[in-house]
Amino acid sequence: MRKIFLSLLALVSLASCNENKTYIIEGALYGGGKFEGETIYLVPFENPENRIDSAFIHEGRFRFDGKVENAEICKIRMRPMMRLFIQELFIVKEPGHVRTILSKRSYTQGTPQNDSLQAWIDYKAATDSVIIAINKQKKRASDDELKALSQKQDSIQIVFDKHNRGVVERNNNAFGDFVNKYATISASK
Residues 96 and 121 occupy one common structural domain: no
Q: Is 2 part of a structural domain of the chain?
A: no
Mean pLDDT of the 94-119 span: 96
Give me the number of domains the chain comprises: 2
Q: Does some domain include residue 4?
A: no
Task: Give a yes or no: residue 15 inside a domain.
Answer: no
Across the chain, mean pLDDT equals 86
Nearest to 102 by CA among 57, 65, 43: 57
Query: Is 16's pLDDT higher than 60?
Result: no
pLDDT cut 90: percent of the chain above it? 71
Q: Which of the two residues, 3 and 180, has the higher pLDDT score?
A: 180
User: What is the model's pTM?
Assistant: 0.81
122-145: average pLDDT = 93
| 72-77, strands of its sheet edge to edge | 53-56, 39-44, 72-77, 89-93
Contacts of 131 (CB under 8 A, 6+ apart): 153, 156, 157
pLDDT band at 182 (very low <50, low <70, confident <90, very high): confident
Q: Which domain holds residue 82?
A: 22-110
Sorting pLDDT into bands at 50, 70 and 90, what band is 81?
confident
Indicate the residue among 46, 81, 110 that finishes a domain: 110
